[in-house]
């Protein structure tokens, strides 16, 4: 693991101006999310915890029709869009956001267009189409898809949903934090996958407000470190490539406003190697009976690379997605 | 598949005397169950449904510390025991009931002894001990363990918890049915693993009361058909052997009172082959990202053996447990 610097927990009052996030709106968001995506399981896994040397709590965000947490954000986006009487939305997605937006749009009769890179996971693309989304494929990676989505939004009356830039996606994800704070009297460490930043900033903000003693750890793959490098530099750092199996967190252009939100909540932002991500996937399969996508194994990967940091602590890891092609899963988790 | 006869849905008034189950008590049971075991995920899995030719809904009972549904029943047992101020309980278990009883006992300071056969799943035994239960191993199978548990109860002041004979276990399991009826406006077919009968009779009773048009299908392995044969004969049939990988449902001596409850609710009781159970496990892994124990794959196995029966219907299958040793899982799910 390559730690990229550390900072003590920010000690701040709720609602200070250096974050866009608002606890009141996160509580409101909870009311807008379908039962399908909230009040998800949160339970101890003693078998894996014993092996890792900590009390491991799993927050499971995969037992829903889109097999990831992003429905929380898109439910909030689409509820607000519905009230605004706008009838179309567009997003760029490596897969999970697109499936979530398609699901939330279908439930409300709102048309959805998803722009994906040709390199995106085929199972996710198929599922978006089954959910009624129009899918446009573009050459390149997620950043190329994002550019095309902006063009589509600019040329028509469609809301551009940019994951993490759109506050609804962060505040929807933040409801995970509300459920955890309500369910446990104490959480020592909160492990969060870090990509665009919606999950990390949303959940992180809830902990800073309601459980400030909890250490918020946000993890990126070494192969896609743009946001982690930005957090260390305290200003946006872009990268030329994103090279990781964790497609759900593989961005290259952090958004300045989201970085600001992250600076307000993250205590530690480690980078983890691909081998650790695969080992995490293998352990979650073997000891927790879960098939997870690579980004959902970042938390366990972080413990594997720095076990003494977590020893004896109550540590929560969010299993944020299980959209992984079976053959890829088998290949990555071979012993 | 070997269907063992069919009968039309019983059309009965709630509370007729030919069942021990009571809807009011099942509603009460819900209040006694920890949040850890109730309000579990229930969601469509379109990938697997498309493949099986039906709308498949998964009711997931594995995302909790004991990885199976039996906590619902033991929570009710132990809540009532707590109020009775009794401070010990004993059960025989192939593993899942014992883990659940150990968990519910530990939460309430009630001592738990579990008698298991030496052939029982080692991971489950280890977990019972980690949860604080005293475990006694006996030669033979679950019926031998049951005999020993009765002796222990008779010689001391411990409540004997017999799965399915003890109504609390059936009514606790029945709360699964309440959640499903509340969550979906229509369910055509309810698929339930059939072992001792707690899950089948508890959930079946809720559907007969609140959604009588739903077909209740209770499935046993061909290698452990005692309850299915009893249902067909309308009287208890015992078998000399139980030979199946589905250890969670492998009994040989059906209980007459439970059979009576089952006769009041089951519309169809198919037997499925071991190869179909393994195929079901493989499909749930590949298409739903779930590691399941064999008994949790009985529903999908039943669809595989008789697809036309379920075609186009909204079918719910309860994923009742995921306690399976990783190496056995790998061996059983090899392509």
> Is residue B91 domain-shared with residue B127, that is, in the same domain?
yes
Place of tokens 């995969």: A62
Residues of B in contact with A183 (CB under 8 A): 35
The conformation of residue B188, written as its DSSP 8-state character, comes to S
Contact between A20 and A167 (Cβ < 8 Å) = yes
Q: Nearest-CA distance from A276 to chain B in Å? A: 20
Residue B3 in this model has a pLDDT that exceeds 50 = no
Containing A125, the helix (H) or strand (E) segment is helix A122-130
CB contact under 8 A, B290 and A286: no
Rg (CA), chain A: 18
The reported pLDDT for the residue numbered B140 is: 87
- Mind giving me the DSSP string for B66-82? TSBTTHHHHHHHHHHHH
Number of domains making up chain A: 2
> Is residue A201 domain-shared with residue A56, that is, in the same domain?
yes
Mutate: best of A44, A56, A63, partner B, most B CBs <10 A: A63
In chain B, which residues touch A (CB < 8 A)?
35-36, 39-41, 43-47, 50, 58, 60, 62-65, 67, 123, 127, 130, 183, 285-286, 289-292, 322, 324, 326
Q: Nearest-CA distance from A219 to chain B in Å? A: 23
The reported pLDDT for the residue numbered B156 is: 80
Identify the CA nearest to B316 among candidates B191, B183, B194, B182.
B191
The reported pLDDT for the residue numbered A2 is: 40
Mutate: best of A41, A121, A130, A133, partner B, most B CBs <10 A: A41
The complex's ipTM works out to 0.91
Contact between B92 and B149 (Cβ < 8 Å) = yes
Q: Nearest residue of A to residue B123 by CA position?
A: A47
Mutate: best of A180, A289, A318, partner B, most B CBs <10 A: A289
Listed residues A99, A131, A160: the one ending a domain = A160
Of B46, B63, B324, the CB nearest to A63: B63
Identify the CA nearest to A141 among candidates A221, A273, A252.
A252
Instruction: Express each pLDDT in B5-38 by its tens digit.
Output: 444 444 334 334 489 999 999 999 999 999 999 9
Pair type for strands B268-272 and B2-6: antiparallel
- Mind giving me the DSSP string for A253-290? S--HHHHHHHHTT-SEEEEE-HHHHHHHHHHHHHHH-B
Instruction: Express each pLDDT in B225-268 by its tens digit.
Output: 999 999 999 999 999 998 999 988 988 999 999 999 999 999 99
Q: Nearest-CA distance from A326 to chain B in Å? A: 6
- E strands within chain A? 2-6, 42-44, 55-60, 88-92, 111-117, 134-138, 159-160, 189-193, 215-221, 268-272, 314-319
How far is C-alpha B42 from the chain's CA centre?
A: 17
> Is residue A207 domain-shared with residue A310, that is, in the same domain?
yes
Listed residues B160, B175, B207: the one ending a domain = B160
What is the torsional sign of CA B107, B111, B117, B118?
Answer: positive
- Exposure of B275 by Cβ count < 10 A (0-12 exposed, 13-18 middle, 19+ buried)? exposed
The reported pLDDT for the residue numbered B102 is: 96
> Is residue B76 domain-shared with residue B103, that is, in the same domain?
yes
CB contact under 8 A, A44 and B65: yes
What is the pLDDT tens value at each position of chain A, 335 positions in all? Answer: 444 444 444 433 433 448 999 999 999 999 999 999 999 999 999 999 999 999 999 999 999 999 999 999 999 999 999 888 778 999 998 788 999 999 999 999 999 999 998 888 787 888 899 999 999 999 987 888 999 999 999 988 799 999 999 999 999 999 999 999 999 999 999 999 999 999 999 999 999 999 999 999 999 999 999 999 999 999 999 999 989 999 889 889 999 999 999 999 999 999 999 999 999 999 999 999 999 999 999 999 999 999 999 999 999 999 999 999 899 999 999 86
Instruction: Express each pLDDT in B252-261 by its tens digit.
Output: 999 999 999 9
> Is residue B203 domain-shared with residue B80, that is, in the same domain?
no
> Is residue A304 domain-shared with residue A194, that is, in the same domain?
yes
Residues of A in contact with B44 (CB under 8 A): 65
Domain that holds residue A78: 71-160
Residues of A in contact with B47 (CB under 8 A): 123, 127
User: Hey, how many other C-beta atoms are within 10 angstroms of the C-beta on A200?
Assistant: 32
- Exposure of B82 by Cβ count < 10 A (0-12 exposed, 13-18 middle, 19+ buried)? middle
Count contacts between A and B (CB, < 8 Å). Answer: 62
Q: Nearest-CA distance from B57 to chain A in Å? A: 9
CA distance B30 to B206: 13
The conformation of residue B166, written as its DSSP 8-state character, comes to B
> Is residue A284 domain-shared with residue A219, that is, in the same domain?
yes
> Is residue B15 domain-shared with residue B76, that is, in the same domain?
no
> Is residue B270 domain-shared with residue B183, that is, in the same domain?
yes
CA distance A153 to A267: 36
> Is residue B32 domain-shared with residue B100, that is, in the same domain?
no
Residue B96's CATH number = 3.40.50.1100
Residue B115 in this model has a pLDDT that exceeds 80 = yes
> Is residue A297 domain-shared with residue A230, that is, in the same domain?
yes
What is the strand order of the sheet B189-193 is part of?
B2-6, B268-272, B215-221, B189-193, B314-319, B55-60, B42-44
What is the strand order of the sheet A134-138 is part of?
A134-138, A111-117, A88-92, A159-160
Rounded (10°) CA dihedral A47, A52, A57, A63: -70
Average pLDDT along chain B: 92
**pLDDT band of B195, cuts 50, 70, 90:** very high
Listed residues B160, B177, B204: the one ending a domain = B160
Q: Nearest residue of A to residue B40 by CA position?
A: A41
The reported pLDDT for the residue numbered A335 is: 61
């Amino acid at each position: 693991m390559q730690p990229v610097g550390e900072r003590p927990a920010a000690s701040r009052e709720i609602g200070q101006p250096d974050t866009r996030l608002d606890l009141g709106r996160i509580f409101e968001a909870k009311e807008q999310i379908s039962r399908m995506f909230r009040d998800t399981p949160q339970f101890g896994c003693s078998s894996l915890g014993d092996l890792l040397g900590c009390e491991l709590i799993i927050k499971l965000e995969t037992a829903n029709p889109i097999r990831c947490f992003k429905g929380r954000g898109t439910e909030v986006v689409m509820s607000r869009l519905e009230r605004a009487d706008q009838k179309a939305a567009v997003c760029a997605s490596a897969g999970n956001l697109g499936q979530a937006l398609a699901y939330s749009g279908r439930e409300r009769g709102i048309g959805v267009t998803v722009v994906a890179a040709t390199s995106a996971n085929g199972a996710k693309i198929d599922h978006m189409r089954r959910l009624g989304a129009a899918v446009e494929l573009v050459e390149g990676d997620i950043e190329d898809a994002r550019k095309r989505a902006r063009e589509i939004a600019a040329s028509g009356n469609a809301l551009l949903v940019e994951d993490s830039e759109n506050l609804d996606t962060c505040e929807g994800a933040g409801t995970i934090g509300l459920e955890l704070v309500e369910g446990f009297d104490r959480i020592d460490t909160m492990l969060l996958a870090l990509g665009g930043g919606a999950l990390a900033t949303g959940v992180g903000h809830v902990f800073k407000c309601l459980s400030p003693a909890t250490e918020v750890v946000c993890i990126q793959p070494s192969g896609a470190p743009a946001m982690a490098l930005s957090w260390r530099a305290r200003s946006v750092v872009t990268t030329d490539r994103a090279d990781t199996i964790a497609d759900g967190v593989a961005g290259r252009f952090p958004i300045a406003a989201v970085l600001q939100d992250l600076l307000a909540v993250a205590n530690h932002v480690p980078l983890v190697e691909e081998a650790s991500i695969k080992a995490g996937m293998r352990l979650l399969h073997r000891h927790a009976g879960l098939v997870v996508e690579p980004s959902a194994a970042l938390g366990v990967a972080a413990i594997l690379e720095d076990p003494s940091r977590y020893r004896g602590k109550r540590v929560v890891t969010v299993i944020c997605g299980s959209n992984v092609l079976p053959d890829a899963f088998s290949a990555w988790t071979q012993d």
